[in-house]
Amino acid sequence: MSADIIALIVKATGQTLYMVAVAGLIGSLLGIPLGVFLATSGRGELFAAPWVNKVFGAVINAARSTPFIILVVAIIPFTRLVAGTSIGTTAAIVPLTIATIPFVARLVETAIREVDPGLTEAARAMGASPMQIVFKVLLAEARPGITSALTLTIVSLIGYAAMVGAIGGGGLGDLGIRYGYQRFMPDVMAVVVVVLIVLVQLVQSAGDRLARQFDKRSRPR
Amino acid sequence: MNMVVLRNTATSTPQVLPGNDAPNPMVVFEGVAKRFAAGNTGAEVVALNDIDLVVPRGSVTGIIGRSGAGKSTLIRLVNGLEKPSSGRILVDGVDIAGLDEKNLRPVRRSIGVIFQHFNLLSSRTAFGNVALPLEIAGMGTQDIEKRVAPLLDLVGLSEKRDRYPSELSGGQKQRIGIARALATEPKLLLSDEATSALDPETTRSILALLRKINKELGLTVLLITHEMEVVKVIADHVAVIDGGRIVEQGPTFDVFTGHVHETTKALLGGLAGMHLPEFLTSRMSQLPEPGSRTILRVIFKGENATEPMLARLGSDLGIEVNIMAGAVDEIAGRPFGMLVVSLRSNEAKIAEARQFLAHHGLSSEVVGYVR
């Protein structure tokens, strides 16, 4: 394999990591609060706003049921507005982030709903404010679940990032399609797949280790 | 089985603890009702009705009832987690129902709660759990440290301070729950079935701890339970709740030894000596026959339970007493016993014997006759 090809692979890996990191970070920063809101705004809950909850839920469902590749082209005007261009790696971050927000929100909602309602009740009985309950009880107790949720998000993002070649986003998936498939270079394809597998493995085992560390629910000694 | 216990023969016993009329009670329920909407039909379920209840300051007051009787709703009304549909709830003179969520917070910090399932944060150590209410109250790290250490000591778990709840036994978790409830130095401790998930031995140790806290800190304790055992051991005052209503209330000993209400009786079913043994009931008749023996249930209360009255029936009146069944128990720290005895004697002598017992403060009833 020529040095050129190796340089391409390194560059593509860098692009994938860049897209995943930025989209993952912004998506989580927006998705986690949204997930908390979804989990606490139902009827009779901490921030009860059943109608807002329903509307948000519907929008999230719509976003999540749109195939990612369609989302990418459908929001091109928005991408141009945000990134100044609709082509390139940075532009690709916009649809990746948009897809990440509802994904994270739903997973975080699930993680928070798994927190024993008795703990919220106990905190209320202690005179905690709703925000104190969110930070000191819900987020603290859901930390292992949220860690697993974010791990899953990053793994999924690595997959999604392979599709943004369609708008010139670059990255490993794009490299695999253009060189491995269209130019019929099976060795490039193999390297791309191996690099992706290694990335996913690393993310998954790091996430699992972190989640285990946070989880104090039952740890045999 | 339909038993009528002769209440009026009971001697009036001195009140050690403040009665319902003691001034300045900690909690007062005035005509409280709570209704919940049932589904979307507009129908309502009445959870509590006509609740008038007084929790004397410094007492341990128990509310006992079957599940579904409205106990949990009642205790949630005290710290405002539930709003009454009508009536007033005064905690230390403040009407809880009139406060909004924000103004309830400081009040809640003055009311500790312990729960059946402990409700400890799994992500926090024993120390962290006890510190939580103090963090919520906005206390600084150093002050928290100073406050938590003696509390862990009080509940006997200083060496578990850095353990997570999953590493503790049920009894230890509840001790942490108690330390947490005491952290903000409350004036009232609510106990929501705090021992229902514990084995009998652990239950006893937790109750002893609550007793100690009540005595040493002068903390008023309001506990709800379905366990007769709990109320019998710890409560000075008791209210029996059934179908959303309080059917009886008063000093524990009086309520349980004078048990008039069906619900109280049902709850007492397990108490020693309440049931007649099968060998007696199978050959017992309700009318005397020539040569039959009289079966008498003798009820000992308080200090009388320790006097050798039955022996004196023999020595003073010359009546032969045969003990058939019975037991002596303890309610609110005072002995309470029931003996089923058979006497071979004529009716005049039996009447004399009962008069003798009544004179010494023991109530008795003729339950039947056997040949």
What are the structural domains of chain A?
A: 3-214 (1.10.3720.10)
pLDDT of residue B273: 58
CATH 3.30.70.260 location in chain B:
278-370
Q: Is residue A218 predicted with pLDDT exceeding 80? A: no
pLDDT of residue B269: 61
A126 contacts in chain B (CB < 8 Å) = 108-109, 113, 132-133, 136, 184
Q: Is there a contact between A136 and B113 if contact means CB atoms under 8 Å apart?
A: no
Chain B residue with minimum CA distance to A143: B123
Quickly count helices (H) and strands (E) in chain A.
11, 0
Answer for the pair A24, A157: CB distance below 8 angstroms, yes or no. Answer: yes
pLDDT band at A150 (very low <50, low <70, confident <90, very high): very high
Q: Write the pLDDT tens digit of every residue in A29-66.
A: 999 999 999 999 998 889 999 999 999 999 999 999 99
pLDDT of residue A133: 97
A120 contacts in chain B (CB < 8 Å) = none
Q: Is there a contact between A136 and B167 if contact means CB atoms under 8 Å apart?
A: no
> What one-character DSSP code corresponds to residue B88?
E
Q: Which fold has domain B278-370?
A: Alpha-Beta Plaits (3.30.70)
B111 contacts in chain A (CB < 8 Å) = 125
Q: Is there a contact between A218 and B111 if contact means CB atoms under 8 Å apart?
A: no
The average confidence (pLDDT) of chain A is 93
Whether B165 has its CB under 8 Å from any CB of chain A: the answer is yes
Q: Is there a contact between B122 and A141 if contact means CB atoms under 8 Å apart?
A: yes
pLDDT band at A168 (very low <50, low <70, confident <90, very high): confident
A132 contacts in chain B (CB < 8 Å) = 136
> What one-character DSSP code corresponds to residue A67?
-
pLDDT of residue B15: 38
Answer for the pair B233, B225: CB distance below 8 angstroms, yes or no. Answer: no
- Listed in order, strand segments (DSSP E) in chain B are 27-38, 43-55, 60-64, 86-91, 94-95, 111-115, 188-192, 220-225, 237-242, 245-251, 284-285, 293-301, 320-331, 334-344, 363-370
Q: Is residue A2 predicted with pLDDT exceeding 70? A: yes
B188 contacts in chain A (CB < 8 Å) = none
B122 contacts in chain A (CB < 8 Å) = 141, 216-217
Q: How far apart are CA B129 and CA B161, in angstroms?
A: 10
CATH 3.40.50.300 location in chain B:
9-110+186-268
pLDDT of residue B1: 38
| For residues A71-87, average pLDDT | 92
**Taking the C-alpha atoms of A143, A144, A149 and A154 in order, what is their torsion angle to the nearest 10 degrees?**
100
Closest to B190 measured CA to CA, from A129, A119, A125: A125
In this structure, what token pair is assigned to residue B68? 């579904």
In this prediction the pTM is 0.83
Question: Least CB-CB distance to B108: which of A126, A137, A221?
Answer: A126
Q: Is there a contact between A127 and B136 if contact means CB atoms under 8 Å apart?
A: yes
**Does domain B9-110+186-268 match CATH 3.40.50.300?**
yes
pLDDT of residue B46: 86
Q: Is there a contact between A219 and B167 if contact means CB atoms under 8 Å apart?
A: yes
Through-space distance between the first and last CA atoms of chain B, rounded to whole angstroms: 21
For chain B, 371 residues long, give each residue's pLDDT as a single digit of tens. Answer: 343 333 333 333 333 444 444 578 999 999 999 998 877 777 788 889 999 999 999 999 999 988 877 888 999 999 999 999 999 999 999 999 889 999 999 999 999 999 999 999 999 999 999 999 999 999 999 999 999 999 999 999 999 999 999 999 999 999 999 999 999 999 999 999 999 989 999 999 999 999 999 999 999 999 999 988 888 889 999 999 988 899 888 898 888 777 567 777 677 665 555 667 777 778 888 888 777 888 888 877 776 655 677 788 888 888 888 888 877 777 877 877 778 888 887 888 888 888 888 888 787 888 888 87
Chain A residue with minimum CA distance to B186: A126
Positive or negative torsion for Cα B251, B253, B259, B262: positive
Q: How far is B133 from chain A (nearest CA, A)?
A: 6
